[in-house]
Structure 1
Amino acid sequence: MREELKHLLEKWKDLRQLTLDLLSELPEENLSFSVGKNMGTIGKQYRHIGDVQICYNEAIKTGKVDFGKYRRDYSVETSKMKLLEFLEEVNMEMLKLIEEKEDVKIDWFGEKLNLEEHLNSLIEHEILHHGELVVYIRVLDLKFPESWGMWGL
Protein backbone atom coordinates (compact mmCIF):
# COMPACT_ATOMS: atom_id res chain seq x y z
CA MET A 1 0.00 0.00 0.00
CA ARG A 2 1.23 3.47 -0.87
CA GLU A 3 2.55 5.55 2.05
CA GLU A 4 0.17 8.45 1.43
CA LEU A 5 -2.79 6.06 1.43
CA LYS A 6 -1.58 4.41 4.66
CA HIS A 7 -1.27 7.84 6.28
CA LEU A 8 -4.76 8.87 5.17
CA LEU A 9 -6.24 5.60 6.43
CA GLU A 10 -4.69 6.17 9.85
CA LYS A 11 -6.11 9.69 9.90
CA TRP A 12 -9.48 8.33 8.79
CA LYS A 13 -9.53 5.63 11.48
CA ASP A 14 -8.75 8.23 14.16
CA LEU A 15 -11.51 10.54 12.92
CA ARG A 16 -14.07 7.76 12.67
CA GLN A 17 -13.18 6.66 16.19
CA LEU A 18 -13.96 10.18 17.42
CA THR A 19 -17.33 9.95 15.64
CA LEU A 20 -18.08 6.60 17.29
CA ASP A 21 -16.85 7.72 20.72
CA LEU A 22 -19.17 10.72 20.68
CA LEU A 23 -22.13 8.58 19.64
CA SER A 24 -21.31 5.91 22.23
CA GLU A 25 -21.37 8.46 25.07
CA LEU A 26 -24.48 10.26 23.85
CA PRO A 27 -27.65 9.48 25.83
CA GLU A 28 -30.01 7.78 23.39
CA GLU A 29 -32.86 10.18 24.15
CA ASN A 30 -30.74 12.99 22.69
CA LEU A 31 -30.74 11.42 19.21
CA SER A 32 -34.01 13.27 18.54
CA PHE A 33 -32.55 16.67 19.49
CA SER A 34 -32.08 19.39 16.87
CA VAL A 35 -30.40 22.76 17.34
CA GLY A 36 -32.72 24.52 14.93
CA LYS A 37 -34.51 24.76 11.62
CA ASN A 38 -32.90 22.83 8.74
CA MET A 39 -30.30 21.23 11.02
CA GLY A 40 -31.92 17.83 11.52
CA THR A 41 -31.64 15.73 14.63
CA ILE A 42 -28.42 14.30 16.00
CA GLY A 43 -29.63 10.89 14.83
CA LYS A 44 -30.10 12.29 11.33
CA GLN A 45 -26.58 13.74 11.41
CA TYR A 46 -25.15 10.30 12.18
CA ARG A 47 -27.36 8.54 9.62
CA HIS A 48 -26.24 11.06 7.00
CA ILE A 49 -22.56 10.42 7.82
CA GLY A 50 -23.12 6.72 7.09
CA ASP A 51 -25.23 7.33 4.00
CA VAL A 52 -22.56 9.55 2.48
CA GLN A 53 -19.94 6.90 3.18
CA ILE A 54 -22.10 4.46 1.20
CA CYS A 55 -21.78 6.85 -1.76
CA TYR A 56 -18.00 6.90 -1.34
CA ASN A 57 -17.96 3.09 -1.18
CA GLU A 58 -20.06 2.82 -4.33
CA ALA A 59 -17.69 5.21 -6.09
CA ILE A 60 -14.75 2.95 -5.24
CA LYS A 61 -16.72 -0.01 -6.66
CA THR A 62 -17.95 1.71 -9.83
CA GLY A 63 -15.28 4.33 -10.52
CA LYS A 64 -17.88 7.12 -10.49
CA VAL A 65 -19.17 9.25 -7.64
CA ASP A 66 -22.95 9.57 -7.33
CA PHE A 67 -24.36 11.17 -4.20
CA GLY A 68 -27.83 9.90 -5.08
CA LYS A 69 -26.87 6.38 -3.91
CA TYR A 70 -28.03 6.95 -0.33
CA ARG A 71 -29.67 4.13 1.57
CA ARG A 72 -31.74 6.53 3.72
CA ASP A 73 -32.90 4.02 6.32
CA TYR A 74 -34.52 6.52 8.63
CA SER A 75 -35.20 3.86 11.28
CA VAL A 76 -31.56 3.96 12.40
CA GLU A 77 -31.84 7.62 13.46
CA THR A 78 -33.50 6.81 16.79
CA SER A 79 -31.31 3.91 17.89
CA LYS A 80 -27.76 4.34 19.11
CA MET A 81 -27.08 0.62 18.62
CA LYS A 82 -28.38 0.67 15.03
CA LEU A 83 -26.35 3.79 14.22
CA LEU A 84 -23.17 2.28 15.66
CA GLU A 85 -23.73 -0.95 13.72
CA PHE A 86 -24.49 0.97 10.53
CA LEU A 87 -21.35 3.13 10.78
CA GLU A 88 -19.19 0.08 11.57
CA GLU A 89 -20.69 -1.85 8.65
CA VAL A 90 -20.13 0.84 6.02
CA ASN A 91 -16.65 1.51 7.35
CA MET A 92 -15.59 -2.16 7.24
CA GLU A 93 -16.88 -2.33 3.66
CA MET A 94 -14.82 0.71 2.70
CA LEU A 95 -11.62 -0.61 4.27
CA LYS A 96 -12.04 -3.88 2.38
CA LEU A 97 -12.70 -2.05 -0.89
CA ILE A 98 -9.59 0.08 -0.42
CA GLU A 99 -7.48 -3.06 -0.04
CA GLU A 100 -8.99 -4.56 -3.19
CA LYS A 101 -9.03 -1.44 -5.41
CA GLU A 102 -6.03 0.63 -4.38
CA ASP A 103 -5.41 1.82 -7.95
CA VAL A 104 -8.97 2.87 -8.78
CA LYS A 105 -9.56 6.21 -10.49
CA ILE A 106 -12.88 7.80 -9.60
CA ASP A 107 -14.83 10.15 -11.84
CA TRP A 108 -15.83 13.12 -9.71
CA PHE A 109 -18.16 15.00 -12.05
CA GLY A 110 -15.66 14.89 -14.91
CA GLU A 111 -12.45 15.06 -12.87
CA LYS A 112 -10.53 11.83 -12.22
CA LEU A 113 -9.43 11.41 -8.60
CA ASN A 114 -7.15 8.76 -7.19
CA LEU A 115 -8.08 6.89 -4.03
CA GLU A 116 -6.12 9.27 -1.80
CA GLU A 117 -7.98 12.31 -3.15
CA HIS A 118 -11.30 10.48 -2.81
CA LEU A 119 -10.54 9.44 0.78
CA ASN A 120 -9.37 12.94 1.65
CA SER A 121 -12.76 14.28 0.56
CA LEU A 122 -14.50 11.82 2.89
CA ILE A 123 -12.18 12.90 5.72
CA GLU A 124 -13.17 16.52 5.11
CA HIS A 125 -16.85 15.54 5.19
CA GLU A 126 -16.40 13.77 8.53
CA ILE A 127 -14.60 16.81 9.97
CA LEU A 128 -17.42 19.09 8.80
CA HIS A 129 -19.90 16.94 10.73
CA HIS A 130 -17.67 16.89 13.79
CA GLY A 131 -18.00 20.67 13.82
CA GLU A 132 -21.77 20.44 13.59
CA LEU A 133 -21.91 17.78 16.31
CA VAL A 134 -19.85 20.00 18.63
CA VAL A 135 -22.66 22.58 18.43
CA TYR A 136 -25.30 19.96 19.33
CA ILE A 137 -23.29 18.66 22.29
CA ARG A 138 -22.51 22.18 23.55
CA VAL A 139 -26.16 23.27 23.33
CA LEU A 140 -27.19 20.13 25.24
CA ASP A 141 -24.47 20.89 27.80
CA LEU A 142 -23.18 17.31 27.60
CA LYS A 143 -19.70 16.11 28.39
CA PHE A 144 -17.41 15.17 25.51
CA PRO A 145 -15.66 11.79 25.52
CA GLU A 146 -12.08 11.71 26.74
CA SER A 147 -10.88 11.12 23.16
CA TRP A 148 -12.11 14.61 22.25
CA GLY A 149 -9.84 16.18 24.87
CA MET A 150 -7.18 16.93 22.27
CA TRP A 151 -9.56 19.61 20.97
CA GLY A 152 -9.92 21.18 24.39
CA LEU A 153 -13.50 19.95 24.70
Structure 2
Amino acid sequence: MDVLRQRILQALCLTDDFYNHINDGYLRLRISDVPSNTIGEQAYCIIGARESYLSALKIGQWDGFNCSLKDSNNKTLIISKLEETHTNIEIFLQHVSIDEINSNLLFDLLEHEVQHHGQLIRYAYANKIKFPKSWNTRYTV
Protein backbone atom coordinates (compact mmCIF):
# COMPACT_ATOMS: atom_id res chain seq x y z
CA MET A 1 0.00 0.00 0.00
CA ASP A 2 3.00 2.32 0.27
CA VAL A 3 3.10 2.28 -3.53
CA LEU A 4 -0.51 3.49 -3.63
CA ARG A 5 0.33 6.33 -1.24
CA GLN A 6 3.36 7.25 -3.40
CA ARG A 7 1.35 7.17 -6.63
CA ILE A 8 -1.40 9.37 -5.18
CA LEU A 9 1.16 11.96 -4.06
CA GLN A 10 2.88 11.78 -7.46
CA ALA A 11 -0.43 12.41 -9.23
CA LEU A 12 -1.19 15.38 -6.97
CA CYS A 13 2.24 16.85 -7.72
CA LEU A 14 1.74 16.48 -11.46
CA THR A 15 -1.60 18.28 -11.33
CA ASP A 16 -0.09 21.06 -9.23
CA ASP A 17 2.79 21.36 -11.72
CA PHE A 18 0.38 21.74 -14.64
CA TYR A 19 -1.57 24.57 -13.06
CA ASN A 20 1.57 26.30 -11.81
CA HIS A 21 2.99 26.09 -15.34
CA ILE A 22 0.11 27.59 -17.32
CA ASN A 23 -0.71 31.28 -17.47
CA ASP A 24 -3.92 32.84 -16.18
CA GLY A 25 -5.48 33.23 -19.62
CA TYR A 26 -5.38 29.49 -20.26
CA LEU A 27 -7.93 28.88 -17.49
CA ARG A 28 -10.73 30.05 -19.80
CA LEU A 29 -9.73 27.81 -22.71
CA ARG A 30 -11.91 24.97 -23.94
CA ILE A 31 -11.48 22.25 -26.53
CA SER A 32 -13.19 23.64 -29.60
CA ASP A 33 -15.79 21.73 -31.60
CA VAL A 34 -16.52 19.22 -28.82
CA PRO A 35 -18.51 19.45 -25.59
CA SER A 36 -16.01 20.95 -23.18
CA ASN A 37 -15.74 22.91 -19.98
CA THR A 38 -12.71 25.14 -19.35
CA ILE A 39 -9.28 24.33 -17.95
CA GLY A 40 -10.28 26.34 -14.88
CA GLU A 41 -13.44 24.29 -14.48
CA GLN A 42 -11.28 21.17 -14.63
CA ALA A 43 -9.46 22.59 -11.59
CA TYR A 44 -12.80 23.02 -9.82
CA CYS A 45 -13.55 19.33 -10.31
CA ILE A 46 -10.05 18.27 -9.23
CA ILE A 47 -10.07 20.41 -6.08
CA GLY A 48 -13.60 19.36 -5.19
CA ALA A 49 -12.72 15.70 -5.65
CA ARG A 50 -9.65 16.07 -3.46
CA GLU A 51 -11.74 17.69 -0.74
CA SER A 52 -14.60 15.21 -1.11
CA TYR A 53 -12.42 12.10 -1.18
CA LEU A 54 -10.48 13.27 1.86
CA SER A 55 -13.75 13.76 3.71
CA ALA A 56 -14.89 10.30 2.60
CA LEU A 57 -11.59 8.73 3.66
CA LYS A 58 -12.00 10.21 7.13
CA ILE A 59 -15.49 8.77 7.60
CA GLY A 60 -14.96 5.58 5.59
CA GLN A 61 -17.55 6.15 2.88
CA TRP A 62 -18.52 8.54 0.09
CA ASP A 63 -20.47 11.50 1.43
CA GLY A 64 -21.04 13.57 -1.72
CA PHE A 65 -19.13 16.16 -3.71
CA ASN A 66 -18.26 19.59 -2.31
CA CYS A 67 -15.80 22.17 -3.58
CA SER A 68 -14.55 25.27 -1.81
CA LEU A 69 -13.12 26.85 -4.99
CA LYS A 70 -15.27 29.90 -5.74
CA ASP A 71 -13.57 31.23 -8.89
CA SER A 72 -12.31 28.84 -11.57
CA ASN A 73 -10.70 31.72 -13.48
CA ASN A 74 -8.42 32.87 -10.64
CA LYS A 75 -5.03 31.17 -10.95
CA THR A 76 -3.79 32.40 -7.56
CA LEU A 77 -6.85 30.94 -5.85
CA ILE A 78 -6.59 27.67 -7.82
CA ILE A 79 -2.92 27.26 -6.90
CA SER A 80 -3.70 27.98 -3.27
CA LYS A 81 -6.51 25.39 -3.20
CA LEU A 82 -4.38 22.80 -5.01
CA GLU A 83 -1.59 23.30 -2.46
CA GLU A 84 -4.04 23.18 0.45
CA THR A 85 -5.74 20.00 -0.72
CA HIS A 86 -2.42 18.36 -1.58
CA THR A 87 -1.05 19.14 1.88
CA ASN A 88 -4.22 17.97 3.61
CA ILE A 89 -4.18 14.63 1.77
CA GLU A 90 -0.46 14.16 2.37
CA ILE A 91 -0.82 14.84 6.10
CA PHE A 92 -3.78 12.47 6.31
CA LEU A 93 -1.85 9.69 4.54
CA GLN A 94 1.15 10.19 6.86
CA HIS A 95 -0.94 9.84 10.01
CA VAL A 96 -3.11 6.88 9.17
CA SER A 97 -2.40 3.28 8.33
CA ILE A 98 -3.61 2.65 4.81
CA ASP A 99 -4.82 -0.75 5.95
CA GLU A 100 -7.27 1.00 8.27
CA ILE A 101 -9.01 3.08 5.61
CA ASN A 102 -11.24 2.27 2.67
CA SER A 103 -8.75 1.37 -0.07
CA ASN A 104 -11.47 1.70 -2.72
CA LEU A 105 -11.69 5.41 -1.91
CA LEU A 106 -7.92 5.76 -2.28
CA PHE A 107 -8.03 4.09 -5.68
CA ASP A 108 -10.98 6.28 -6.67
CA LEU A 109 -9.01 9.40 -5.70
CA LEU A 110 -6.01 8.26 -7.73
CA GLU A 111 -8.12 7.30 -10.74
CA HIS A 112 -9.95 10.63 -10.66
CA GLU A 113 -6.75 12.67 -10.51
CA VAL A 114 -5.10 10.70 -13.32
CA GLN A 115 -8.25 10.80 -15.45
CA HIS A 116 -7.99 14.58 -15.31
CA HIS A 117 -4.38 14.34 -16.45
CA GLY A 118 -5.64 12.68 -19.62
CA GLN A 119 -8.20 15.43 -20.08
CA LEU A 120 -5.61 18.16 -19.47
CA ILE A 121 -3.33 16.56 -22.05
CA ARG A 122 -6.15 16.90 -24.60
CA TYR A 123 -6.72 20.53 -23.56
CA ALA A 124 -3.02 21.28 -23.91
CA TYR A 125 -2.75 19.70 -27.35
CA ALA A 126 -5.96 21.38 -28.58
CA ASN A 127 -4.76 24.79 -27.38
CA LYS A 128 -1.04 24.37 -28.16
CA ILE A 129 -0.03 24.69 -24.50
CA LYS A 130 3.45 23.47 -23.61
CA PHE A 131 3.71 20.95 -20.80
CA PRO A 132 5.74 21.30 -17.63
CA LYS A 133 8.92 19.19 -17.51
CA SER A 134 7.37 16.77 -15.00
CA TRP A 135 4.64 15.92 -17.53
CA ASN A 136 7.19 15.38 -20.29
CA THR A 137 8.99 12.97 -17.98
CA ARG A 138 5.90 11.12 -16.74
CA TYR A 139 3.76 11.02 -19.87
CA THR A 140 6.28 11.65 -22.68
CA VAL A 141 4.04 14.41 -24.07
- Give TM-score, length-normalised by structure 1: 0.80
- Given the alignment of the two structures, is residue 29 of structure 1 paired with residue 13 of structure 2, yes or no? no
1:30 to partner: Cα distance: 0.9
- Given the alignment of the two structures, is residue 84 of structure 1 paired with residue 79 of structure 2, yes or no? yes
1:3-152 alignment, distance < 5 Å: 4=1, 6-36=2-32, 38-68=35-65, 70-75=66-71, 77-102=72-97, 103-105=99-101, 114=102, 116-150=103-137, 151-152=139-140
Richer in strand (by share)? 1
Change (3 A) 1:152 1:16: same
1:72 to partner: Cα distance: 4.9
8 Å CA contact 1:43–1:78 kept in 2: the answer is yes
The number of aligned residues is 138
8 Å CA contact 2:44–2:67 kept in 1: the answer is no
Change (3 A) 1:58 1:32: same
1:41 to partner: Cα distance: 0.7
Change (3 A) 1:147 1:100: closer
1:98 to partner: Cα distance: 2.7
The secondary structure found in structure 1 opposite 2:131 is coil
Change (3 A) 1:50 1:152: same
Q: Percent identity?
A: 26
Q: Structure 2 unaligned segments of length 5 or more: list them.
A: none
1:38 to partner: Cα distance: 4.1
Counterpart AA for 2:76: M
The secondary structure found in structure 2 opposite 1:78 is coil
Runs of 4+ in 1 over 4 A off after TM superposition: none
Counterpart AA for 1:91: H
Distance 1:137 1:123 in 2: 21
User: What is the alpha-carbon root mean square deviation over aligned residues?
Assistant: 1.8
